[in-house]
Structure 1
Amino acid sequence: MSSHNFYDSDTTDQLAQQMLGMLLTYESPNGLVGGRIVETEAYMGEQDSAAHAFQGKRTASNEPLYGPAGTVYIYSIHGKYLLDVATQGPDVPQGILIRAIEPTIGQEIMYRNRPRPGAELTNGPGKLMAALGIAEKTMNFEIIGEGKLNIDVHDRWQPRRVQKSGRIGVSIGEWTDRPLRYYVRHNPYVSGIKRNEVNIANFGWI
Protein backbone atom coordinates (compact mmCIF):
# COMPACT_ATOMS: atom_id res chain seq x y z
CA MET A 1 0.00 0.00 0.00
CA SER A 2 1.39 3.42 -0.87
CA SER A 3 1.46 6.12 1.81
CA HIS A 4 -1.09 8.10 -0.21
CA ASN A 5 -3.58 5.25 -0.10
CA PHE A 6 -3.06 4.74 3.63
CA TYR A 7 -4.69 8.04 4.56
CA ASP A 8 -8.00 7.18 2.93
CA SER A 9 -7.92 3.41 3.43
CA ASP A 10 -10.01 3.40 6.62
CA THR A 11 -11.98 5.69 8.91
CA THR A 12 -9.98 8.54 10.43
CA ASP A 13 -10.23 7.18 13.97
CA GLN A 14 -8.95 3.80 12.80
CA LEU A 15 -6.09 5.43 10.91
CA ALA A 16 -5.11 7.38 14.01
CA GLN A 17 -4.67 4.10 15.87
CA GLN A 18 -2.80 2.43 13.02
CA MET A 19 -0.40 5.37 12.85
CA LEU A 20 0.97 4.60 16.32
CA GLY A 21 4.46 3.15 15.98
CA MET A 22 5.07 4.53 12.48
CA LEU A 23 8.30 6.41 11.81
CA LEU A 24 7.90 10.18 11.40
CA THR A 25 10.90 11.94 9.86
CA TYR A 26 11.83 15.46 8.79
CA GLU A 27 14.76 16.40 6.59
CA SER A 28 15.77 19.48 8.54
CA PRO A 29 18.47 21.95 7.47
CA ASN A 30 20.72 20.43 10.12
CA GLY A 31 20.06 16.78 9.29
CA LEU A 32 17.45 14.05 9.47
CA VAL A 33 15.37 14.00 12.65
CA GLY A 34 12.38 11.98 13.79
CA GLY A 35 10.93 9.18 15.84
CA ARG A 36 8.08 6.78 16.47
CA ILE A 37 4.57 8.17 16.77
CA VAL A 38 3.24 7.36 20.24
CA GLU A 39 0.16 9.60 20.49
CA THR A 40 -2.46 10.84 18.03
CA GLU A 41 -5.87 12.49 17.99
CA ALA A 42 -8.53 12.02 15.33
CA TYR A 43 -10.68 14.94 14.17
CA MET A 44 -13.77 13.89 12.31
CA GLY A 45 -14.54 16.94 10.20
CA GLU A 46 -17.75 18.89 9.81
CA GLN A 47 -19.68 16.85 12.40
CA ASP A 48 -16.94 17.17 15.05
CA SER A 49 -17.47 20.14 17.37
CA ALA A 50 -13.73 20.20 18.18
CA ALA A 51 -12.56 20.12 14.56
CA HIS A 52 -11.30 23.15 12.67
CA ALA A 53 -13.81 22.36 9.92
CA PHE A 54 -16.82 22.04 12.25
CA GLN A 55 -20.09 22.88 10.47
CA GLY A 56 -18.23 23.27 7.19
CA LYS A 57 -15.96 26.09 8.28
CA ARG A 58 -13.50 26.68 5.43
CA THR A 59 -10.87 29.39 5.58
CA ALA A 60 -7.46 30.15 4.12
CA SER A 61 -5.96 28.79 7.34
CA ASN A 62 -7.63 25.37 7.36
CA GLU A 63 -7.76 24.87 3.59
CA PRO A 64 -5.13 22.05 3.72
CA LEU A 65 -7.70 19.91 5.55
CA TYR A 66 -9.82 19.98 2.41
CA GLY A 67 -6.98 18.64 0.29
CA PRO A 68 -6.19 15.09 -0.85
CA ALA A 69 -5.58 12.38 1.73
CA GLY A 70 -2.08 12.78 3.14
CA THR A 71 -1.96 16.58 2.87
CA VAL A 72 0.21 18.34 5.44
CA TYR A 73 -1.70 20.78 7.67
CA ILE A 74 0.50 22.81 10.03
CA TYR A 75 -1.19 25.36 12.24
CA SER A 76 -0.22 27.48 15.23
CA ILE A 77 -1.79 27.95 18.65
CA HIS A 78 -0.35 30.44 21.16
CA GLY A 79 2.88 30.61 19.18
CA LYS A 80 3.32 26.84 19.01
CA TYR A 81 3.20 24.91 15.74
CA LEU A 82 1.30 21.63 15.44
CA LEU A 83 1.26 18.93 12.76
CA ASP A 84 -1.94 17.50 11.34
CA VAL A 85 -2.35 15.15 8.38
CA ALA A 86 -5.53 15.29 6.28
CA THR A 87 -7.34 12.00 5.80
CA GLN A 88 -10.08 10.68 3.53
CA GLY A 89 -10.16 12.71 0.30
CA PRO A 90 -10.62 16.16 -1.23
CA ASP A 91 -13.37 18.22 0.43
CA VAL A 92 -13.69 15.76 3.33
CA PRO A 93 -11.94 17.82 6.05
CA GLN A 94 -10.90 15.14 8.52
CA GLY A 95 -7.43 14.83 9.95
CA ILE A 96 -5.06 13.38 12.54
CA LEU A 97 -3.03 15.46 14.96
CA ILE A 98 0.39 14.02 15.79
CA ARG A 99 0.64 14.61 19.53
CA ALA A 100 3.91 12.94 20.56
CA ILE A 101 6.85 10.92 19.27
CA GLU A 102 9.58 8.80 20.80
CA PRO A 103 12.76 10.27 19.24
CA THR A 104 14.97 7.73 17.47
CA ILE A 105 16.76 9.71 14.75
CA GLY A 106 18.86 12.85 15.13
CA GLN A 107 18.32 13.17 18.86
CA GLU A 108 21.31 15.48 19.27
CA ILE A 109 19.90 17.85 16.64
CA MET A 110 16.49 17.73 18.28
CA TYR A 111 18.00 18.50 21.68
CA ARG A 112 19.79 21.53 20.27
CA ASN A 113 16.47 22.70 18.85
CA ARG A 114 14.69 22.13 22.16
CA PRO A 115 17.05 21.58 25.12
CA ARG A 116 14.70 19.74 27.43
CA PRO A 117 15.57 16.53 29.31
CA GLY A 118 14.15 13.08 28.66
CA ALA A 119 10.57 12.78 27.52
CA GLU A 120 10.09 16.54 27.80
CA LEU A 121 11.81 16.77 24.44
CA THR A 122 8.84 15.54 22.40
CA ASN A 123 5.92 14.63 24.72
CA GLY A 124 3.42 17.06 23.24
CA PRO A 125 2.36 18.37 19.82
CA GLY A 126 4.08 21.74 20.13
CA LYS A 127 7.13 20.22 21.78
CA LEU A 128 7.74 17.67 19.02
CA MET A 129 7.51 20.35 16.33
CA ALA A 130 9.97 22.56 18.19
CA ALA A 131 12.34 19.60 18.56
CA LEU A 132 12.06 18.84 14.85
CA GLY A 133 12.88 22.49 14.16
CA ILE A 134 9.61 23.36 12.39
CA ALA A 135 8.30 26.84 13.19
CA GLU A 136 6.52 27.82 10.00
CA LYS A 137 3.70 26.71 7.71
CA THR A 138 5.58 26.57 4.42
CA MET A 139 5.03 22.82 4.05
CA ASN A 140 1.24 23.20 4.12
CA PHE A 141 -0.48 21.59 1.12
CA GLU A 142 2.47 19.23 0.53
CA ILE A 143 1.75 15.51 0.55
CA ILE A 144 3.40 13.50 3.31
CA GLY A 145 6.29 11.59 1.77
CA GLU A 146 6.70 13.89 -1.22
CA GLY A 147 8.60 16.61 0.61
CA LYS A 148 10.77 16.89 3.69
CA LEU A 149 8.12 15.44 6.01
CA ASN A 150 7.44 11.72 5.88
CA ILE A 151 5.52 9.08 7.81
CA ASP A 152 6.70 5.64 6.75
CA VAL A 153 3.59 3.46 6.79
CA HIS A 154 5.74 0.38 6.10
CA ASP A 155 8.10 0.96 9.05
CA ARG A 156 6.05 0.46 12.20
CA TRP A 157 6.78 -0.71 15.71
CA GLN A 158 3.91 -2.71 17.22
CA PRO A 159 2.40 -1.32 20.43
CA ARG A 160 1.63 -3.86 23.14
CA ARG A 161 -1.57 -1.99 23.85
CA VAL A 162 -3.28 1.05 22.37
CA GLN A 163 -5.06 3.16 24.96
CA LYS A 164 -7.98 5.50 24.18
CA SER A 165 -9.14 8.64 25.94
CA GLY A 166 -10.89 11.93 25.40
CA ARG A 167 -8.86 14.49 23.52
CA ILE A 168 -6.68 16.96 25.40
CA GLY A 169 -7.64 20.64 25.47
CA VAL A 170 -11.10 20.04 24.00
CA SER A 171 -13.61 21.65 26.35
CA ILE A 172 -16.61 22.68 24.27
CA GLY A 173 -19.27 20.88 22.29
CA GLU A 174 -20.79 17.44 22.44
CA TRP A 175 -17.58 15.83 21.16
CA THR A 176 -15.55 16.88 24.21
CA ASP A 177 -15.31 13.44 25.77
CA ARG A 178 -15.32 11.26 22.67
CA PRO A 179 -12.45 8.72 22.94
CA LEU A 180 -10.55 9.98 19.89
CA ARG A 181 -7.10 10.27 21.46
CA TYR A 182 -4.90 7.20 21.06
CA TYR A 183 -1.55 6.42 22.60
CA VAL A 184 0.97 3.66 23.25
CA ARG A 185 0.26 2.58 26.80
CA HIS A 186 3.28 2.75 29.15
CA ASN A 187 5.39 4.84 26.74
CA PRO A 188 7.21 7.68 28.56
CA TYR A 189 6.86 10.10 25.64
CA VAL A 190 3.05 10.17 25.82
CA SER A 191 1.94 13.59 27.03
CA GLY A 192 0.84 13.70 30.64
CA ILE A 193 1.78 10.12 31.48
CA LYS A 194 2.60 9.48 35.13
CA ARG A 195 6.02 8.14 36.03
CA ASN A 196 4.59 5.02 37.67
CA GLU A 197 2.72 4.16 34.45
CA VAL A 198 5.90 3.91 32.36
CA ASN A 199 7.30 0.50 31.44
CA ILE A 200 11.03 1.15 31.44
CA ALA A 201 11.77 -2.31 30.04
CA ASN A 202 9.99 -1.96 26.69
CA PHE A 203 8.31 1.50 26.62
CA GLY A 204 5.09 -0.25 25.62
CA TRP A 205 6.36 -1.93 22.43
CA ILE A 206 6.18 -5.63 21.57
Structure 2
Amino acid sequence: MYQPLDPTFYQQSTLELAQSLIGKLLVKETMQGEASGWIVETEAYLGAVDRAAHSFENRRTKRTEVMFGPSGYVYTYVMHTHCLVNVVSGKEGSPEAVLIRAVEPYTGIDLMYERRGMNKRERELTSGPGKLTKALGIVKEDYGRPIFERPLYIAEGRNVEEIEAGKRIGIDNSGEAKDYPWRFWEKGNRFVSK
Protein backbone atom coordinates (compact mmCIF):
# COMPACT_ATOMS: atom_id res chain seq x y z
CA MET A 1 0.00 0.00 0.00
CA TYR A 2 1.47 3.33 -1.08
CA GLN A 3 1.17 6.52 0.92
CA PRO A 4 0.37 9.85 -0.76
CA LEU A 5 3.19 12.39 -0.58
CA ASP A 6 2.78 15.06 2.08
CA PRO A 7 1.12 18.30 0.86
CA THR A 8 4.34 20.20 1.69
CA PHE A 9 6.06 18.37 -1.22
CA TYR A 10 4.08 20.59 -3.62
CA GLN A 11 5.34 23.82 -2.05
CA GLN A 12 8.44 24.04 -4.24
CA SER A 13 8.80 26.23 -7.30
CA THR A 14 7.00 25.02 -10.43
CA LEU A 15 10.24 24.27 -12.31
CA GLU A 16 11.61 22.34 -9.33
CA LEU A 17 8.36 20.44 -8.89
CA ALA A 18 8.27 19.46 -12.57
CA GLN A 19 11.66 17.79 -12.06
CA SER A 20 10.93 16.39 -8.58
CA LEU A 21 7.88 14.56 -9.95
CA ILE A 22 10.03 12.49 -12.32
CA GLY A 23 10.22 8.98 -10.83
CA LYS A 24 7.27 9.47 -8.46
CA LEU A 25 4.29 7.09 -8.64
CA LEU A 26 0.97 8.39 -9.98
CA VAL A 27 -1.88 6.24 -8.62
CA LYS A 28 -5.63 6.17 -9.40
CA GLU A 29 -8.04 3.92 -7.52
CA THR A 30 -11.39 3.18 -9.20
CA MET A 31 -14.24 0.68 -8.84
CA GLN A 32 -12.44 -1.47 -11.46
CA GLY A 33 -9.23 -1.51 -9.44
CA GLU A 34 -5.98 0.38 -9.02
CA ALA A 35 -3.66 1.46 -11.81
CA SER A 36 -0.38 3.30 -11.38
CA GLY A 37 2.71 4.41 -13.26
CA TRP A 38 6.10 5.98 -12.61
CA ILE A 39 6.10 9.58 -13.87
CA VAL A 40 8.72 9.83 -16.63
CA GLU A 41 7.85 13.15 -18.32
CA THR A 42 6.42 16.50 -17.21
CA GLU A 43 5.99 20.06 -18.49
CA ALA A 44 5.97 23.21 -16.37
CA TYR A 45 3.52 26.06 -17.06
CA LEU A 46 4.34 29.33 -15.31
CA GLY A 47 0.96 31.01 -15.35
CA ALA A 48 0.89 34.78 -15.69
CA VAL A 49 4.22 35.10 -17.54
CA ASP A 50 3.87 32.00 -19.74
CA ARG A 51 2.08 32.51 -23.07
CA ALA A 52 1.54 28.73 -23.32
CA ALA A 53 -0.34 28.57 -20.00
CA HIS A 54 -4.14 28.66 -19.83
CA SER A 55 -3.72 31.24 -17.07
CA PHE A 56 -1.40 33.56 -19.05
CA GLU A 57 -1.74 37.18 -17.80
CA ASN A 58 -3.71 35.78 -14.82
CA ARG A 59 -6.63 34.75 -17.05
CA ARG A 60 -9.18 33.53 -14.52
CA THR A 61 -11.99 31.35 -15.85
CA LYS A 62 -14.10 28.51 -14.54
CA ARG A 63 -11.51 26.16 -16.08
CA THR A 64 -8.42 27.83 -14.59
CA GLU A 65 -9.94 28.61 -11.16
CA VAL A 66 -8.21 25.71 -9.32
CA MET A 67 -4.82 27.04 -10.44
CA PHE A 68 -5.33 30.20 -8.38
CA GLY A 69 -5.63 28.14 -5.19
CA PRO A 70 -2.97 26.31 -3.18
CA SER A 71 -0.49 23.91 -4.77
CA GLY A 72 -1.05 20.16 -4.74
CA TYR A 73 -4.49 20.07 -6.37
CA VAL A 74 -5.59 18.44 -9.61
CA TYR A 75 -6.16 20.52 -12.74
CA THR A 76 -7.80 18.43 -15.46
CA TYR A 77 -9.09 19.67 -18.79
CA VAL A 78 -10.15 18.17 -22.09
CA MET A 79 -8.22 18.84 -25.29
CA HIS A 80 -9.15 17.15 -28.60
CA THR A 81 -11.38 14.67 -26.65
CA HIS A 82 -8.44 13.68 -24.39
CA CYS A 83 -8.41 14.46 -20.67
CA LEU A 84 -5.07 15.85 -19.48
CA VAL A 85 -3.91 15.91 -15.85
CA ASN A 86 -1.86 18.63 -14.17
CA VAL A 87 -0.68 19.29 -10.63
CA VAL A 88 -1.31 22.85 -9.43
CA SER A 89 1.95 24.47 -8.32
CA GLY A 90 3.25 27.86 -7.28
CA LYS A 91 1.97 30.06 -4.48
CA GLU A 92 -1.71 30.75 -3.92
CA GLY A 93 -2.87 33.45 -6.35
CA SER A 94 -0.07 32.53 -8.80
CA PRO A 95 -1.76 30.20 -11.33
CA GLU A 96 0.93 27.67 -12.26
CA ALA A 97 0.82 23.95 -12.96
CA VAL A 98 2.81 20.90 -14.03
CA LEU A 99 1.41 18.72 -16.82
CA ILE A 100 2.10 15.01 -16.42
CA ARG A 101 3.03 13.98 -19.97
CA ALA A 102 3.94 10.30 -19.62
CA VAL A 103 4.21 7.47 -17.10
CA GLU A 104 5.78 4.01 -17.14
CA PRO A 105 3.08 1.42 -16.25
CA TYR A 106 3.56 -0.18 -12.83
CA THR A 107 0.37 -1.70 -11.39
CA GLY A 108 -2.97 -2.52 -13.02
CA ILE A 109 -1.45 -3.12 -16.45
CA ASP A 110 -4.30 -5.48 -17.48
CA LEU A 111 -6.76 -2.74 -16.58
CA MET A 112 -4.76 -0.28 -18.70
CA TYR A 113 -4.97 -2.62 -21.70
CA GLU A 114 -8.71 -2.92 -21.16
CA ARG A 115 -9.16 0.85 -21.08
CA ARG A 116 -6.83 1.59 -23.99
CA GLY A 117 -7.68 -1.34 -26.25
CA MET A 118 -6.10 -4.78 -26.12
CA ASN A 119 -4.13 -4.37 -29.36
CA LYS A 120 -1.77 -1.65 -28.10
CA ARG A 121 1.96 -2.25 -27.66
CA GLU A 122 2.96 -1.74 -24.03
CA ARG A 123 4.90 1.43 -24.90
CA GLU A 124 1.70 2.90 -26.39
CA LEU A 125 -0.30 2.50 -23.17
CA THR A 126 0.90 5.60 -21.34
CA SER A 127 3.44 7.42 -23.56
CA GLY A 128 1.47 10.66 -23.82
CA PRO A 129 -0.74 12.90 -21.67
CA GLY A 130 -4.07 11.71 -23.11
CA LYS A 131 -2.96 8.08 -23.16
CA LEU A 132 -1.94 7.96 -19.51
CA THR A 133 -5.20 9.47 -18.22
CA LYS A 134 -7.25 6.95 -20.18
CA ALA A 135 -5.04 4.06 -19.03
CA LEU A 136 -5.18 5.10 -15.36
CA GLY A 137 -8.86 6.07 -15.37
CA ILE A 138 -8.22 9.75 -14.65
CA VAL A 139 -11.23 11.81 -15.75
CA LYS A 140 -12.24 15.46 -16.03
CA GLU A 141 -14.27 15.02 -12.81
CA ASP A 142 -11.00 14.60 -10.89
CA TYR A 143 -10.63 18.38 -11.27
CA GLY A 144 -10.02 20.12 -7.94
CA ARG A 145 -9.14 17.00 -5.92
CA PRO A 146 -6.15 17.15 -3.56
CA ILE A 147 -3.42 15.06 -5.22
CA PHE A 148 -2.19 14.11 -1.74
CA GLU A 149 -5.34 12.06 -0.93
CA ARG A 150 -6.91 8.92 -2.36
CA PRO A 151 -8.31 8.00 -4.89
CA LEU A 152 -5.95 10.02 -7.17
CA TYR A 153 -2.56 10.71 -5.64
CA ILE A 154 1.19 10.75 -6.07
CA ALA A 155 3.36 8.48 -3.90
CA GLU A 156 7.10 8.19 -3.27
CA GLY A 157 8.91 6.84 -6.27
CA ARG A 158 12.00 5.16 -7.54
CA ASN A 159 15.46 6.58 -8.15
CA VAL A 160 16.02 8.29 -11.50
CA GLU A 161 19.59 8.41 -12.81
CA GLU A 162 19.33 11.40 -15.13
CA ILE A 163 16.69 13.98 -16.08
CA GLU A 164 16.87 15.81 -19.41
CA ALA A 165 15.21 19.10 -20.33
CA GLY A 166 13.95 20.57 -23.59
CA LYS A 167 11.16 22.45 -25.34
CA ARG A 168 7.55 21.70 -24.50
CA ILE A 169 5.38 19.96 -27.10
CA GLY A 170 2.32 21.13 -29.05
CA ILE A 171 2.42 24.83 -28.15
CA ASP A 172 3.70 26.31 -31.42
CA ASN A 173 1.25 29.23 -31.28
CA SER A 174 2.62 30.61 -28.00
CA GLY A 175 5.30 33.06 -29.18
CA GLU A 176 8.63 32.94 -27.37
CA ALA A 177 7.17 30.54 -24.78
CA LYS A 178 7.35 27.70 -27.30
CA ASP A 179 11.14 27.71 -26.89
CA TYR A 180 11.32 27.62 -23.08
CA PRO A 181 13.12 24.42 -21.95
CA TRP A 182 10.39 23.52 -19.45
CA ARG A 183 9.78 19.90 -20.45
CA PHE A 184 11.58 17.31 -18.32
CA TRP A 185 11.97 13.58 -18.82
CA GLU A 186 13.83 10.55 -17.55
CA LYS A 187 16.75 10.02 -19.92
CA GLY A 188 16.39 6.85 -21.98
CA ASN A 189 12.94 5.85 -20.71
CA ARG A 190 10.96 4.29 -23.57
CA PHE A 191 7.62 5.62 -22.27
CA VAL A 192 8.61 9.26 -22.82
CA SER A 193 6.26 10.71 -25.47
CA LYS A 194 7.59 11.16 -28.97
- Same fold per superposition (TM over 0.5): yes
- Indicate the SS of the match to 2:67: helix
- Indicate the SS of the match to 2:16: helix
Q: Post-superposition shift, 1:145?
A: 2.2
Q: Post-superposition shift, 1:90?
A: 2.0
User: In structure 1, which of residues 123, 126, 131 is the aligned counterpart of residue 130 of structure 2?
Assistant: 126
Residue of structure 2 equivalent to 1:105: 107
Does 2:144 match 1:141? yes
CA distance in structure 2 between the aligned counterparts of 1:97 and 1:151, rounded to whole angstroms: 13
Residue of structure 2 equivalent to 1:18: 20
Q: Post-superposition shift, 1:157?
A: 1.3
CA distance in structure 1 between the aligned counterparts of 2:32 and 2:60, rounded to whole angstroms: 35
CA deviation profile, 1:24-60 (whole Å, cap 9, x unmatched): 1000220010110000000011000100100110100
Query: Quick check: 1:22–1:36 contact (8 Å CA) kept in 2?
Result: yes
Paired residues for 1:149-164 under 5 Å: 149-152=152-155, 155-164=156-165
Structure 2 unpaired stretches of 5+: none
AA aligned opposite 2:9: F
CA distance in structure 2 between the aligned counterparts of 1:11 and 1:133, rounded to whole angstroms: 28
Structure 1 unpaired stretches of 5+: 193-206
Q: Post-superposition shift, 1:3?
A: 2.4
Query: Quick check: 1:71–1:85 contact (8 Å CA) kept in 2?
Result: yes
- Indicate the SS of the match to 1:14: helix
Query: Quick check: 1:67–1:141 contact (8 Å CA) kept in 2?
Result: no
AA aligned opposite 1:118: E
How many residues are treated as equivalent by the alignment? 188
Paired residues for 1:40-79 under 5 Å: 40-79=42-81
RMSD over equivalenced CA pairs, Å: 1.3
- Indicate the SS of the match to 1:191: coil
- Indicate the SS of the match to 2:15: helix
Paired residues for 1:74-85 under 5 Å: 74-85=76-87
TM-score (norm 2): 0.93
- Indicate the SS of the match to 1:183: strand
Which aligned runs of 4 or more in structure 1 are off by greater than 4 angstroms?
Answer: none
- Indicate the SS of the match to 2:176: coil
AA aligned opposite 1:156: G
CA distance in structure 1 between the aligned counterparts of 2:148 and 2:8, rounded to whole angstroms: 12
Does 2:171 match 1:181? no
TM-score (norm 1): 0.88
